[in-house]
Amino acid sequence: VDFSNFRSQTGGIITLDPGYKNTGSCKSEITYLDGEEGVLMYRGYPIEQLAEKSNFTEVMYLLLNGELPQADQLSKFENDIKDHDMVSEDITKILAAFPSSAHPMGVLSTLTSSLTAFNPKAVNVKSEADMYRAAVTLLGKFPVLASWTLRKMKGWPLNYSDNKLGYVENFYQLMFKQPNKDLEMDPIVIDALDKLLILHADHEQNCSTSTVRLVGSAHTGLFASISSGVSALWGPLHGGANQAVVEMLELIQEDGGNVQKWVDKAKDKNDDFRLMGFGHRVYKNFDPRARIIKKAADQILDKLGIQDEALEIAKKLEQAALEDDYFVSRKLYPNVDFYSGIIYKALGIPTEMFTVMFAVGRLPGWIAQWIEMRKNNEPIGRPRQIYTGPAKRDYLDISAR
Ligand code: ACO
pTM recorded for the entire structure? 0.93
Residues 6+ apart with CB under 8 A from 11: none
| Per-residue pLDDT band at 11 (split at 50, 70, 90) | low
Report which secondary-structure segment, H or E, holds 118: helix 104-118
Please indicate whether residue 266, judged by its CB atom, sits closer than 6 Å to ligand 1: yes
SS3 category, 216: helix
Residue 381's Cβ-side half-sphere holds a number of Cα atoms within 13 Å equal to 16
Atom of ligand 1 nearest to the CA of 21: 29
Q: How far is the CA of 91 from the centre of ligand 1 (A)?
A: 38
Please indicate whether residue 150, judged by its CB atom, sits closer than 6 Å to ligand 1: no
Q: CA 313 to CA 248: how far, in whole Å?
A: 10
| Strands of the 31-34 sheet, one edge to the other | 31-34, 39-42, 45-46
User: Is 337 annotated as catalytic?
Assistant: yes
User: Quick check: 40 and 32 in contact, CB under 8 A?
Assistant: yes
What pLDDT shows up at residue 5?
Answer: 63
- List helix spans (H) across 323-392: 325-329, 337-346, 354-375
Please indicate whether residue 238, judged by its CB atom, sits closer than 6 Å to ligand 1: yes
Q: CA 189 to CA 194: how far, in whole Å?
A: 9
Please indicate whether residue 239, judged by its CB atom, sits closer than 6 Å to ligand 1: yes
From 194, 203, 280, 287, the catalytic residue? 280
Statement: residue 177 has pLDDT above 90: yes
What pLDDT shows up at residue 292?
Answer: 93
Backbone φ, ψ for residue 269 (5° rounding) = -70, -10
Indicate the average pLDDT of the chain: 94
Which residue owns the Cα nearest ligand 1 atom 15?
Answer: 330
Atom of ligand 1 nearest to the CA of 358: 51
DSSP state of 34: E
For residue range 243-260, list pLDDT tens digits in order: 999 999 999 999 999 999
Atom of ligand 1 nearest to the CA of 19: 30
Please indicate whether residue 274, judged by its CB atom, sits closer than 6 Å to ligand 1: yes
Statement: residue 150 has pLDDT above 80: yes
What pLDDT shows up at residue 125?
Answer: 85
For residue range 347-363, list pLDDT tens digits in order: 889 999 999 999 999 99
Burial class from Cβ neighbours inside 10 Å (0-12, 13-18, 19+) for residue 132 reads middle
What pLDDT shows up at residue 4?
Answer: 60
For residue range 191-234, list pLDDT tens digits in order: 999 999 999 999 999 999 999 999 999 999 999 999 999 999 99
Angle of helix 309-322 relative to helix 337-346, nearest 10 degrees, comes to 170
Say how many C-beta atoms besides its own lie within 10 A of residue 176's C-beta.
Answer: 21
